[in-house]
Structure 1
Amino acid sequence: MTKDSKLKNQVLSSLKWVAMGKIVTQILRWAMTFWVIRLLSPDDYGLVAMSDVLFGFLNLLLGSLFASSIIQEKNLTKQSLKQLFGAIIVSHLGFFALQYSLADVAGSYYKSDIVSQILKVNAWCFIILALEVIPAALLAKNMEFKRVSIIAAISNIVAAVSTLVMAYLGYGFWSLVIGEIIFIGLRAALTFAAKPIDFLPSFKINDITAMLKFGGMLSIQSVLFYVFMHMDVAIAGRIMTPTEVGLYAIGLQVALMPQKKIMPLLRQVAFPAFSQIQDQPKLIANYVLKAQRLCISLTLPIFWGLASVTDLVIPLLLGEKWLGAVIPTTIMLMIMPLRFSEELFNPALKSLKKVNHMLVNLCFMVVIMFISIMVAARYGATGLALAWLCGFPIAYLIVAWRNSQTLNTQFSQFVKLLLAPMLSGAAMFAVVYGAKSFIEADIVVALLLQITLGGITYLGLMLLLDRASIKEVLSMLKRNG
């Protein structure tokens, strides 16, 4: 078996286990999430969304500093791991102290004492996470995704049940905060048990300076990425009421649900896989194009199909009090395939250590979206969603062109990949939207009829315009079945 075939089989096997873990947990997790949303108020979600800006930023910064370096490094020694463990302990303690001290500052910015209280509580997660970094990175490096999937399934289910119980008992926003702490704590404990650290930390850094430099560059990239992803809520939290922020946050959460479940799956497998062939740039370029073609063909009907039925899905799953989130959710779903596609470039770029290139990409996206959000934030939740619809396609085309140059692929070839799925998706959306006035039935029946009609439209047009992609998807599923 060739190295290429062995890697392909390893990737497919890893994807199978990660996908199985996601499917098993997400049906239950989604059901409980929607139930929790029905129990809580827009204010609850608005407060948690505002506190997550700081906590998520610091968490992402630490995650990029160490884990990616461990996965990417080909010559990893015991001494390097000892020094990394020492650096992880020091940095996590430092970030705990940093968030705790900044909690009151964040609360003052948002004019909310509750935001300050939330940040002081979830700051303790940094101490818990220090024990997870090395075990989790080693499991990913060795592509042991069966164990990773089992850990994720157990942690997700326990956290979801805990959140639902607390929301039912009337704990409000605290149910979301404590549920997240339970998830992080259980996942860290199980990961450590699966890959225990059997050595003491060393507080020297002479053997890991190159790894820390690489991780530091990725951390800078993570800072920009986090600004890009959260500046909408950060700006809106200052201008809009918690209720308006909550409506937008739920619209964004619903829109991001498919991406949050699919993208980590691909990223979790893709980066270790690309790292194994980092010395074969042509092979990486071929895999990038293939991944883009397959993922756009699969994800676009999910996002745009859901966008075409949000007027039924939101009141059915979340209740009438969330009707204000219908338009923002629909708009955000329309832009999600491009956001998904943009993120799909990063594992390959990271494996090639193209961190500077990724930083420039993010600078373009941050500047364009900052201007767009500042103009639109005064128009409430719908205005924020429109900011993404107007600004992100411009940023996406610039970044996709730059990535094509770096990966030695033709930009015209990449754009061609988008045409068939987008034409098919647009027709699907138009058909479903046009059929709404003709379908008079119970909301569940109407939803099922519209989904069926949309699916038939998309699949039929894809068979006419891009039969090769459909055949490749079916072939991949058959090989991995």
Structure 2
Amino acid sequence: MSDNNALKNKVLHSLKWVALGRATTQTLRWVLTFWVIRILTPEDYGIVALADILFSLLMTIASTIAVSPLIQAKTLERSAISSYFGVTLSIYTLLFCCQYLLADTVAHLYNNAYVADVLKVNAWCFLLLALETVPTALLRRQMAFKKLALIAAVSNIVAAISTLLLAIYGYGFWALVYGEIIAIALRVTLLLIYHPAPCLPTFRVRDSLPLIRFGGLMSVFTLLWYVFIHLDIAIGGLLLSTAEIGIFTVALNFALMPQKKILPLIKEISFPAFSQIQDQPAKITHFIVKAQRLGLIFTLPIFWGLASVSDYLLPSIIGNKWDAAIIPTTLVLMLMPLRFSEELFQPAAKALGHINYLIVNTVYLIAFMSVALLSLHQFGATGLALAWVVGFPLAYIIVLSRYSKLFQFPLGTFVRSVGKIVSCGAIMVATVFLLKLYLTEINLINLFLLVGAGSVSYIISLLVLDRRTLVELKQAISSR
């Protein structure tokens, strides 16, 4: 078997297990999440969203520093693993102290005392997360995603049920906080039981200097990326009411649901896969362009399809009290294929060590989005969503041009290769909106009719306009 086929089969096997693990939990989690949204208020989600700005930032930086260098390294000695384990334990402890001490300052900034309480409670998660870093990184490096998928499925299901029960019993926003803690605690416990770290931590820093250098650059990129994806809540939290932030948070979370489930799955597998062929840039370029095209054929109908029926879908699943979230949800969903595309380039750039490239790209994204958010925030939650529609595409044009130079693919060829898929998506949206002229009543039957009509029109459009990509997709899935 050729190296290409061996890697492809390994990726497909990993993808199968990660997808299976996500699929078995996702339907249940979505149902429970919508149930929780019906129970809680915009203010509850606003409080957690404001606290999450700091918590998610520190947690994302920590996981990037701890996990990515161990996956990207060409060779990995036991002494380096042990040394880096000690380094990550120190970093996570420092982050625990940092969040706990900054909690009151953040709460004062947003004029909400509950934010401090939330931050002080979930700061303890860092001490738990420190224990899972090495086992998780080594399993991902080995592409042993079956075990990771099973552990994630169990912890996510238990956490989702716990969150719902806490919401039912009147815990308010604490239901969301405690649910996250339960998920982390159970995941770490199961991981340590079934795949403990292969060595004890040491603190000989020189044994892991290459890992520390890569982790340092990754932390800079992660910090900037976090600033970018949380600009809307950070700026809106300073200028808008908690209720407006809660409305936008629910809209954003709904719009991001497909991306949060699909893209991490792809990133989780593609980063170690690209790392294994980091000395073969031509092969990476081939896979990048192919992944963009095949990824778009799946994600475009999901995002644009949800956008076209959001005015029917949201009232049906989370109630009329969230009607104000319909327009922001629709706007963000229409933009999501571009954001998906941008993030899909990142694993390859990381695997090749081009972190500086990612840093510059993120600076462009921050600059454009900052101007858009500050210009449109006066329109409330809808203004924050509109800022994504206006600011992100302008930045994406620059970033895409830079990626085309980095990975050496013709920009015109790339645009033409995805243009037919975009046209099929536009036909789907037009079909749904035309049908809405006749199915004016908002109910589940009409919702299913709209979804069915949109799906059929998209598939027919692909068969007519882009049959080649469908054939390529079939070959990619069925070949061994």
Q: Normalising TM by the smaller chain, what interval? A: over 0.9
TM-score, normalised via structure 2 length = 0.99
| 1:173 corresponds to | 173
| 1:64 corresponds to | 64
| 2:219 corresponds to | 219
Q: Secondary structure at the match of 1:74?
A: coil
Structure 2 CA distance, aligned partners of 1:198 and 1:408? 40
| 1:259 counterpart letter in structure 2 | Q
| 1:396 counterpart letter in structure 2 | Y
Q: Deviation of residue 207 (structure 1)?
A: 1.4
Pairing 1:77–2:81 present: no
| 1:281 counterpart letter in structure 2 | P
Q: Deviation of residue 150 (structure 1)?
A: 0.2
| 2:13 counterpart letter in structure 1 | S
| 2:321 counterpart letter in structure 1 | K
Q: Deviation of residue 110 (structure 1)?
A: 0.5
Structure 1 CA distance, aligned partners of 2:419 and 2:339? 16
Map 1:61-460 onto structure 2 (within 5 A): 61-439=61-439, 443-460=443-460
The answer to which of 297-306 and 427-436 deviates more is 427-436
Contact 2:71 2:138 in 1 (8 A): yes
The answer to which of 286-295 and 440-449 deviates more is 440-449
Q: Deviation of residue 440 (structure 1)?
A: 5.4
Q: Deviation of residue 374 (structure 1)?
A: 0.7
The answer to which of 140-149 and 412-421 deviates more is 412-421
CA deviation vs aligned residue, 1:329-362 (integer Å, no higher than 9, x gap): 0000000000000000000000000001111100
Structure 1 CA distance, aligned partners of 2:450 and 2:477? 26
Structure 2 CA distance, aligned partners of 1:159 and 1:119? 19
Structure 1 CA distance, aligned partners of 2:417 and 2:175? 43
Structure 2 CA distance, aligned partners of 1:419 and 1:200? 52
The answer to which of 231-240 and 253-262 deviates more is 231-240
CA deviation vs aligned residue, 1:201-257 (integer Å, no higher than 9, x gap): 111210111111111101100011000000110111111111100010000000000
Specify whether residues 161 and 215 from structure 1 end up closer, same or farther in structure 2 by C-alpha distance, changes over 3 A only.
same
Contact 2:84 2:211 in 1 (8 A): no
Q: Secondary structure at the match of 2:360?
A: helix
| 2:49 corresponds to | 49
Q: Deviation of residue 281 (structure 1)?
A: 0.2
Contact 1:236 1:377 in 2 (8 A): yes
The answer to which of 189-198 and 171-180 deviates more is 189-198
Q: Deviation of residue 475 (structure 1)?
A: 3.1
Contact 2:42 2:247 in 1 (8 A): yes
| 1:181 counterpart letter in structure 2 | I
Q: Deviation of residue 198 (structure 1)?
A: 4.2
Structure 2 CA distance, aligned partners of 1:309 and 1:7? 39
Q: Deviation of residue 474 (structure 1)?
A: 2.8
| 2:465 corresponds to | 465
Structure 2 CA distance, aligned partners of 1:274 and 1:334? 29
TM-score, normalised via structure 1 length = 0.98
Contact 1:66 1:212 in 2 (8 A): no
The answer to which of 410-419 and 353-362 deviates more is 410-419
Q: Deviation of residue 320 (structure 1)?
A: 0.6
Contact 1:35 1:318 in 2 (8 A): yes
Unpaired runs of at least 5, structure 1: none
Q: Secondary structure at the match of 1:199?
A: coil
Structure 2 CA distance, aligned partners of 1:283 and 1:476? 16
The answer to which of 453-462 and 465-474 deviates more is 465-474
The answer to which of 381-390 and 82-91 deviates more is 82-91
| 2:196 counterpart letter in structure 1 | P
| 1:242 counterpart letter in structure 2 | T
| 1:338 counterpart letter in structure 2 | L
CA deviation vs aligned residue, 1:445-465 (integer Å, no higher than 9, x gap): 101100011111111111121
Q: Secondary structure at the match of 2:180?
A: helix
Structure 1 CA distance, aligned partners of 2:440 and 2:327? 22
Q: Secondary structure at the match of 1:98?
A: helix
Q: Deviation of residue 68 (structure 1)?
A: 0.5
Contact 1:303 1:336 in 2 (8 A): yes
CA deviation vs aligned residue, 1:95-125 (integer Å, no higher than 9, x gap): 0000000000000000000000000000000
Contact 1:338 1:396 in 2 (8 A): yes
Aligned residues: 480
| 1:27 corresponds to | 27
| 1:455 counterpart letter in structure 2 | S
| 1:120 counterpart letter in structure 2 | K
Contact 2:312 2:442 in 1 (8 A): no
Structure 1 CA distance, aligned partners of 2:90 and 2:341? 36
| 2:111 counterpart letter in structure 1 | K
| 2:474 counterpart letter in structure 1 | L
